[in-house]
Amino acid sequence: MDKLTTDNTFELANQFRDAAAALRDWRMKNRAVLNRAQWDELDDREIVLLNIASSIYTDAVGLVLNDSQTALARLQSSVQSAKSAVQRIAIFKQALDLASALILLAGAVYSGNAAGIPAAILSLEEAADAIVNSEGSGA
């Protein structure tokens, strides 16, 4: 078992921060079709994600991962996929599901919950895949 290096940890925090920014950009782009409650809910999730990313930077989590290179690569790939999926969000529920999955994964990383990370990665991959594979549009 290896621990994530400081560089790995900072890169993950950067990716979570970038994903939060992508969600913010989507929210701003779609502000005309989001009602106040939807706007506020996405704003709250963005803030939670940014706070967790900030905490990851601050604490430089020494997370132990089994087979750390594979796990780290999958962590990074999942967050990258989520950031790419933001561009294809068609409806509010997709934005909310993606934001929630990102928070779940960021929380698992921040808390050092190595056992919870695989389920959180799967949740994020499923949310991103649902967006990429959807054909609907609207908010």
In which residue are the tokens 């990370």 written? 117
Query: Is 121:74 a contact under the CB 8 Å cutoff?
Result: yes
Which residue ranges of the chain lie beneath pLDDT 70?
1-4, 60-70, 135-139
What pLDDT score was predicted for residue 124?
A: 94
What SS3 string covers 38-90?
Answer: HHHHHHHHHHHHHHHHHHHHHHCCCCEECCHHHHHHHHHHHHHHHHHHHCCCC
What pLDDT score was predicted for residue 138?
A: 47
What pLDDT score was predicted for residue 7?
A: 79
Task: Give CA–CA dist 57/60, Å, rounded.
Answer: 5
What pLDDT score was predicted for residue 20?
A: 94
Task: Give CA–CA dist 124/103, Å, rounded.
Answer: 9
Q: Tell me if residue 2 falls in helix, strand or coil.
A: strand
What pLDDT score was predicted for residue 11?
A: 85
